Structure 1
Amino acid sequence: MRGRAVRVLAAALLLFAALTGCGRDATPFTPREVPAPVVIDPANPCPRQADLSAELAAQGPQAPAPPTPVAARYDRAAGTVTVTAGTGFGPAALAAAVRDPGVLREVSPGNWLLGANLVLSAGTAMRIAAPEVRWFGLSSEPGRYVTLSVLGGRLDVAGSCVTSWDEAAGRADTDHLDGRAYVLARDRAQLSVDHAEVRFLGYGAVESYGLSLRTAGTTGTITRSVVSHLYFGVYTYEVDGFTVADSEFHDNIIYGIDPHTGSRNMVIERNVVHDNGKHGIILAEDCVDSVIRGNVVYRNAHHGIVLYQRSDRNVIEDNETFLNVAHGINLNESHHNLVRNNRVYHNGESGIGVGQTSAANVVERNVVLSNGRDGVRLVSEAGDNTVRANALGNNARYGIYVDTQGRFDIHGNSIFGSRVGVLIKSDGSEPEEPEGNDLFDNREGDVVSR
């Protein structure tokens, strides 16, 4: 890896010298050191809780509103506790209201285990917060698990750790195939997770993904937290205004961050998203008017950052995305998006892919280096896309690969050190060659039509 990094750095120095004429500042670019994978022991699933709690405390005294009395009813046959009144309360107040240690009990100071489904109804609000609560476990074992559902109410997690827990095995539940405990917020609920750990939750059924927010009017924030080993790190559906910031998402089974189906006006920024089982960050199915900014996205098992199926009018900027198995950034059937000022390198296939009818997107001022195939791909009926003022260096195959009958505008780019600078697939007619680019040191030609 060290030799490869040296080659990338050398390319970067050439790159920024070439970019001076494009108006870019000649700022040195150094590839990020690649951290080792994070290993979490399911028997000790909260290694960061004390540090996160201390960081929260260092911000000064928290001043939540005074709690109000809790009212709850327990349906023993359904195994469900429904909170009908109360705000600002914690597990101790809820346990006192229910009076059944099989439902909720403190297993050791500051550590609580939920043994029945818990529903927070509209108008209620629960706090799982340090220093009173270090860990909140949701019982989850083969053939049986509990859920925490916020149905119009509010849940705040601050400085604490929330996980599944198999009491007989003495560890978090690592098997998602037979069902697993999860947290769900919907029906105009509010969910806040700050300086917290959330681990080992969820499985592959609707509403059961681990940490999910659903339906119009539901919203929330995840800030300065760690989310790992969920089915999806976080999932949203028809949510407006959700924020995910300054957090780490790793080793989730499918996606790290997954806004979905009609979610909009989201801010996803300054997160570290790595080692997830498919994409790192994906906006899918009509996710619009959102910002993905300043994230570090690496070593995910498919793409790093994805816009999919009518995820339009979004901005992807100032991210660093590298060592993903396929593309660093991928746009698929999505339109009018801006991809700018990203650093995209060492991805297994291509740096930035624009395909499947994606139209009217702008890819500009990105640094795209040493990817396993192409720097930028315009394919599969993608049309009216603009690629301008990028630095595309030392990509293994083509700096820019064009295989689409749609129109394209390629100008102002520095393209160097690839097998071919720009490769344009042709249907037999003579394609219009891009002009106004700085092409050099491409081994088999600067612009080639085939």
Structure 2
Amino acid sequence: MELDAMYSHTRNRQRWAAGLLLAGSLAWAAVAAAGEDAAPAYQVSSIPAEPLLIEPPKLPDLSPYTAEAANARIVRKPTGSVVLKRMIGQNQLVEFTGGDERLREWVKRQGEMPQAVFIEGGYVTLTDLARSLPKKYFEETEPGIYIARLPIVVSQGATLHIGAETRDLRLSSERGAFLINDGKLFIMDTRLTAWSEKENQQDWFKKKGKFRPFLNAWGGTETYIVNSVVSSLGYTASKSYGVSISQYSPAMHPTMQRDHPSGWLIDSMFDDMWYGFYCYEAYDVVLKGNTYRNNLVYGIDPHDRSRRLIIAENTAYGTREKHGIIVSREVNDSWIFNNRSYENTLSGIVVDRSSVNNVVANNEVYRNGSDGITIYESGDNLLWGNRAFNNARHGIRVRNSANVGLYENLAVANGLLGIYGHVKDLNGTPRDLILDPFDMNLSLTVVGGRLIGNESGAISVVSPQSVKLYGVEMLMPTQPSGIGIFGALAKEQSRIIDLLVRQKRAVLVLPLDKLAQLQVSDKQ
């Protein structure tokens, strides 16, 4: 393992510094409040360690999520029907035909009043489509290889099964094909590819904003992608990002009245996608054992008000613009564990915008262009047993987030700090503060784990409301110039070392003003 070899090298390099454990690598920062000349004062004290100790998080059992279990969910009777309908006026397509510009896209690509293929009333395969439709709309060009030249809609109550007998379903970019699931969709042991008929090849990303086919599953649907390869889907338009599982828009929801969509994406490859995966108000989606390779904006991006997601055993790498894995805007009660996220342009894993009550555990994040793991404006989250190494910035970064637990994490040889906690005033930024509010409130509990050989130091915490430390092993950074103890906490260095290292006790750091408030409260 790369990490084991690097860790062994780091240990050898650090042996000479073992006697300096913690003394040179604990970097605290306390920043003055706006308009104040002096940094706030803090008090360091000992607290009982036992209340800080918790059991490892109970992670979901992944054994139910298999190809066999997905296959068992296919209902093959009755046989469905295949019909052509105009795109205009169809509820499933309003998102893609509303406004002159989007409708013009399909007029231009189809060369006639835009139509779509609708699957209705039961079970349909691609063989059924090819038998039912003119070749100018859907054609088997070689045995097991199909080209779709119109959008395909799986209607409520219908099932489309694309199985192992299909070598590739190619969605024509020139003709504006895409795939909408409004019922049940099974893509198993096959390929789904955005296809340029003009170039006779996969429609590789060339230009931002240029149409490419996509897959979107609406509210109340089930989507299963198993042991398959999905390539080159997605562009910038709404709900057209690549593979999306999305509730109907607020404008359509009163009409459609659908439950939250769900699905399993397991043991599959997603490459050259605008977003490798996106969801919106989806519940109980499982992403397990997939590879997200060289996607454009994000590898995995669950979004607004999605819940109870399982994101496990995936590999995300080579994301060209942003992060390997991100959950953002009230993505709650979810599990992100046993993933690898590396060599992404920004962070490996991000929890963002009021996403709470999530467990991020046993992930490996390395060689990312920003942080290993980033927590932004998202309190009440637990990070357990993650390994962050060789990231360009921090191993773990936490901003404006209260009650974040960092337990048994390893941060090695990151470009700045092993752990960096800070607050930031986001007023005056492009952020929509009604949609995405924030509080400049930071509190961390750091228990166990190792912070080793990070360039700027082991840990820095800026303007916290509280910090609790216990049993953290810290070794020297690689550059002595990276050693620093800042602000009001500098004078407490000796006491922190004495309590944490020599006495093996837990440490509590509180601002004096908060300590005074607690003391007044105790007296009342």
Q: Which residue of 2 aligns with 1:46?
A: none
1:218 alignment partner, one of 249, 258, 261: 261
Q: Which residue of 2 aligns with 1:160?
A: 190
Q: Does 1:83 align with 2:119?
A: yes
Q: Does 1:181 align with 2:213?
A: yes
Quick one: which amino acid aligns to residue 128 of structure 2? A
Give the drift of 1:322.
0.4
Q: Supply the distance in 1 between the matched residues of 2:449 and 2:501 (Cα, whole angstroms).
A: 10
Q: Which residue of 2 aligns with 1:284?
A: 328
Question: Which of structures 1 and 2 has the larger relative contact order (alpha carbons within 8 angstroms, sep 6+)?
Answer: 2
Q: Does 1:138 align with 2:199?
A: no
SS of the residue corresponding to residue 204 of structure 1 reads coil
Conservation of the 8 A alpha-carbon contact between 2:374 and 2:397: yes
Per-residue CA deviations over 1:323-356 (Å, capped at 9, x if unaligned) read 001100000000110101111100011100001x
Q: Supply the distance in 1 between the matched residues of 2:296 and 2:403 (Cα, whole angstroms).
A: 33
Q: CA 1:116 to 1:245, structure 2 compared with 1: closer, same or farther past 3 Å?
A: same
Q: Does 1:74 align with 2:84?
A: yes
2:445 alignment partner, one of 381, 386, 389: 386
1:242 alignment partner, one of 265, 285, 308: 285
Q: Does 1:123 align with 2:123?
A: no
SS of the residue corresponding to residue 9 of structure 2 reads helix
Q: Which residue of 2 aligns with 1:398?
A: 457
Matches within 5 A, 1:320-335: 320-335=364-379
Q: Which residue of 1 aligns with 2:131?
A: 96
1:231 alignment partner, one of 274, 278, 291: 274
Conservation of the 8 A alpha-carbon contact between 1:304 and 1:322: yes
Conservation of the 8 A alpha-carbon contact between 2:403 and 2:445: yes
Q: CA 1:424 to 1:310, structure 2 compared with 1: closer, same or farther past 3 Å?
A: farther
Q: Which residue of 2 aligns with 1:111?
A: 145
Q: CA 1:405 to 1:318, structure 2 compared with 1: closer, same or farther past 3 Å?
A: closer
Query: May I ask how many residue pairs the two structures share in their alignment?
Result: 395
Q: Does 1:202 align with 2:234?
A: yes
Q: CA 1:324 to 1:438, structure 2 compared with 1: closer, same or farther past 3 Å?
A: farther
1:336 alignment partner, one of 371, 377, 380: 380
Conservation of the 8 A alpha-carbon contact between 1:126 and 1:155: yes
Q: CA 1:254 to 1:431, structure 2 compared with 1: closer, same or farther past 3 Å?
A: farther
Could you tell me the percent identity over the aligned residues? 27
Give the drift of 1:173.
1.4
Give the drift of 1:212.
0.2
Q: Supply the distance in 2 between the matched residues of 1:387 and 1:92 (Cα, whole angstroms).
A: 57
SS of the residue corresponding to residue 375 of structure 1 reads strand
Give the drift of 1:293.
0.5
Q: Which residue of 1 aligns with 2:202?
A: 172
Q: Supply the distance in 1 between the matched residues of 2:263 and 2:274 (Cα, whole angstroms).
A: 19
By percentage of residues, which structure has more helix?
2
SS of the residue corresponding to residue 416 of structure 2 reads coil
Q: Which residue of 2 aligns with 1:305?
A: 349
Q: Which has the larger radius of gyration?
A: 2
Give the drift of 1:384.
2.0
Q: Supply the distance in 2 between the matched residues of 1:252 and 1:171 (Cα, whole angstroms).
A: 18
Quick one: which amino acid aligns to residue 243 of structure 1? V
Conservation of the 8 A alpha-carbon contact between 2:455 and 2:482: no
Conservation of the 8 A alpha-carbon contact between 1:402 and 1:423: no
Per-residue CA deviations over 1:93-113 (Å, capped at 9, x if unaligned) read 12223x311221111000011
The unaligned stretches of length 5 or more in structure 1 are 23-54, 440-450
Per-residue CA deviations over 1:127-173 (Å, capped at 9, x if unaligned) read 0110x1110010003xx52111112x011000000010111211111
Give the drift of 1:75.
2.9
Q: CA 1:62 to 1:206, structure 2 compared with 1: closer, same or farther past 3 Å?
A: closer
Conservation of the 8 A alpha-carbon contact between 1:72 and 1:85: no
Q: What is the TM-score with the length of structure 2 in the denominator?
A: 0.70
RMSD: 2.9
Conservation of the 8 A alpha-carbon contact between 2:176 and 2:212: yes
The unaligned stretches of length 5 or more in structure 2 are 22-48, 50-65, 87-112, 248-258, 424-439, 503-524
By percentage of residues, which structure has more strand?
1
Conservation of the 8 A alpha-carbon contact between 1:82 and 1:121: yes
Conservation of the 8 A alpha-carbon contact between 2:443 and 2:464: no
Conservation of the 8 A alpha-carbon contact between 2:457 and 2:476: no
Give the drift of 1:5.
8.1
